[in-house]
């Protein structure tokens, strides 16, 4: 199976087909014609493959929808020294990710139609993972004046966020949610009370005190979550909380959902796979925003994923170059690359017995796509042929040699993991193949 740029007839045979959207989990086949899935299921090809189709022998590995990553900073335009759409696309392909939603924290900021159109045009030209943009809630991410949300949505923005800038002004958040409601749009918030987190480097507590670092208390997250829940009650708008990391915030969302509010949330792999001890002796790759929390918070994130309080998992991909990370811990930039490790770390939920395989895959396919109404995350007749063939048990080690992102700042650096994309297909074209 070689990498090619042609979308033609392909018959995937002897695959364990897993589609969380339909509950399908069978040994069978899948037929792609051009850019589209035309048939799939148990017993397909029992009478042979169609004449002229390229046979893709899957050897019993899992054929799943391409992963959907709903939160990633791609660096372009403005920070090409850290990441580009091309390098992020290659990392995504290697990680089985076929759809990315990129943050508006670029230079210039994605707060007008030209920014939205640039991302879509550039991604199409590259022909790797599909890229959809968030647009900024406020002009230039300054938190003062609401951007033209309706026009940005018409141009192709799938939702709105100020990225890793908190929308701190309550009145502005009220107006934004009310405005967005008029157009049926979703706003995503980085939940952090700025005055409590200002100047912090890691989670507040004994470890931060021992290391002499300024701590970010869990209350900074839950205070903003609880405030915004009240504003959703006031406005009737739709709000999504990104990368929840604390038990208190997850519980607040759980209660809000119980009251029927239009609130959703996601988390990221570091918050269910690591705790604050990963900081070790000032390990800057483990400096994230929000920071890694204590073990009980990590366990609460796992429980939130298990009971459905947390709707999806996003990579929270935030590349930083060496100059940004090779600094004293307090001065180093926060963030970690995560697109290529989204699959194996999510599969730890399966390997560690927290949920079955189809439920873990659901969190990075169907559920992610549905949050932003994306045409992705499903294996169904007539859908785009965005597929990933994975071996959920294949082991590898996260390192600068295995990561294809331009920056290598993974909080999982050196970690042995299980689960690898063997083949990644976008619109019927093979964009990654481990056999090459």
Separation of alpha carbons 27 and 409, rounded Å: 38
Q: Is the CB of residue 218 less than 8 Å from the CB of residue 229?
A: no
Determine the pLDDT at residue 323: 96
State the pTM of this model: 0.97
Asked if the 10-63+385-398+415-433 domain carries CATH number 2.30.40.10, the reply is yes
Known active-site residue 433: no
Hey, what are 378's tokens? 């499903």
CA–CA distance, 40 with 63 (Å, rounded to integer) = 11
| CA pair distance 356, 184, nearest whole angstrom | 34
Query: From the centroid of its chain, how far is CA 184?
Result: 22
Q: Which overall architecture, per CATH, does domain 66-371 show?
A: Alpha-Beta Barrel (3.20)
Q: Exposed, middle or buried, 23 (CB in 10 Å: 0-12/13-18/19+)?
A: exposed
Q: How far apart are CA 306 and CA 319, in angstroms?
A: 29
DSSP string of 97-153, one letter each residue: EEEEEE-S-SSS-S-SHHHHHHHHHHHHHHTSSEEEEEE-SBGGG-SSSB--HHHHH
Q: What 3-state DSSP class applies to 390? A: strand
Q: In what order do the strands lie in the sheet with 97-102?
A: 67-72, 97-102, 130-135, 159-161, 186-189, 238-241, 263-267, 312-313
Instruction: Render pLDDT for 266-275 as a digit per residue (tens, 0 to 9).
Output: 999 999 999 9
The residue whose two tokens read 């708008």 is 237
Model pLDDT, residue 1? 42
**Would you say 298 and 276 are in contact if contact means Cβ atoms under 8 Å apart?**
no
Question: Alpha helix (H) ranges present in 9-127?
Answer: 85-94, 113-126
State whether the Cα torsion 378-380-385-388 is positive or negative. positive
Query: In which residue are the tokens 């929270």 written?
Result: 316
Residue 8 is predicted with a pLDDT of 84
For the chain, the structural domain boundaries read 10-63+385-398+415-433, 66-371
Active-site residue, selected from the candidate residues 228, 266, 311, 316: 316
Q: How far apart are CA 217 and CA 291, in angstroms?
A: 9
Which of 9, 14, 18, 1 shows the shortest CA–CA distance to 388?
Answer: 18
CB proximity list for 78: less than 8 A, separation 6 or greater: 106, 107, 108
User: Residue 365 corresponds to which tokens in the numbers above?
Assistant: 């396919």
Alpha-carbon torsion 106, 112, 116, 118, what sign? negative
What is the tens place of the pLDDT at every residue in 62-105?
999 999 999 999 999 999 999 999 999 999 999 999 999 999 99
Residues in the chain where the model's pLDDT stays below 50: 1-3, 5
């Amino acid at each position: 199976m070689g990498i090619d740029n042609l979308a033609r007839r392909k018959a995937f045979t002897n695959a364990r087909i897993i589609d969380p959207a339909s509950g399908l989990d069978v040994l069978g086949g899948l037929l792609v014609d051009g850019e589209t899935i035309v048939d799939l299921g148990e017993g397909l090809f029992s009478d042979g493959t169609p004449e002229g189709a390229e046979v893709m022998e899957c050897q019993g590995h899992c054929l799943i929808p391409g992963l959907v990553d709903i939160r990633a900073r791609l660096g372009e335009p403005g920070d090409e020294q850290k990441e580009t759409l091309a390098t992020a696309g290659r990392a995504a392909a290697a990680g089985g990710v076929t759809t990315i939603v990129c943050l508006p924290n670029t230079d210039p900021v994605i707060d007008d139609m030209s920014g939205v159109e640039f991302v879509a045009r550039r991604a199409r030209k590259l022909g790797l993972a599909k890229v959809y943009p968030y647009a900024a809630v406020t002009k230039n991410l300054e938190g003062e004046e609401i951007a033209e949300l309706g026009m940005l949505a018409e141009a192709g923005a799938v939702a709105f966020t100020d990225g890793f800038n908190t929308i701190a002004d309550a009145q502005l958040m009220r107006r934004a949610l009310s405005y967005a409601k008029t157009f049926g749009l979703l706003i995503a918030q980085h939940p952090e009370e700025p005055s409590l987190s200002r100047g912090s480097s890691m989670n507040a507590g004994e470890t931060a005190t021992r290391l002499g670092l300024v701590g970010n208390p869990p209350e900074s997250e839950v205070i903003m979550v609880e405030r915004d829940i009240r504003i959703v009650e006031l406005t009737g708008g739709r709000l999504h909380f990104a990368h929840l990391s604390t038990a208190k915030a997850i519980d607040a969302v759980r209660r809000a959902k119980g009251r029927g509010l239009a609130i959703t949330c996601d988390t990221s792999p570091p918050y269910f796979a690591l705790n604050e001890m990963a900081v070790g002796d000032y390990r800057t790759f483990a400096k994230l925003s929000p920071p890694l929390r204590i073990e009980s918070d990590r366990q609460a994130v796992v429980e939130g994923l298990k009971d459905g309080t947390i709707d999806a998992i996003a990579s929270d991909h935030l590349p930083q170059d060496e100059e940004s990370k090779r600094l004293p811990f307090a001065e180093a930039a926060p963030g970690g690359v995560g697109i290529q490790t989204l699959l194996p770390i999510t599969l730890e939920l399966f390997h560690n017995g927290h949920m079955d395989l189809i439920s873990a895959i659901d969190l990075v396919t169907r559920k992610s796509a549905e949050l932003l109404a994306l045409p992705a995350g499903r294996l169904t007749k007539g859908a785009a042929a965005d597929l990933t063939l994975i071996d959920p048990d294949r082991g590898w080690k996260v390192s600068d040699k295995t990561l294809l992102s331009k920056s290598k700042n993974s909080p999982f650096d050196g970690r042995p993991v299980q689960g690898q994309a063997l083949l990644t297909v976008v619109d019927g074209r093979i964009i990654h193949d481990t056999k090459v």
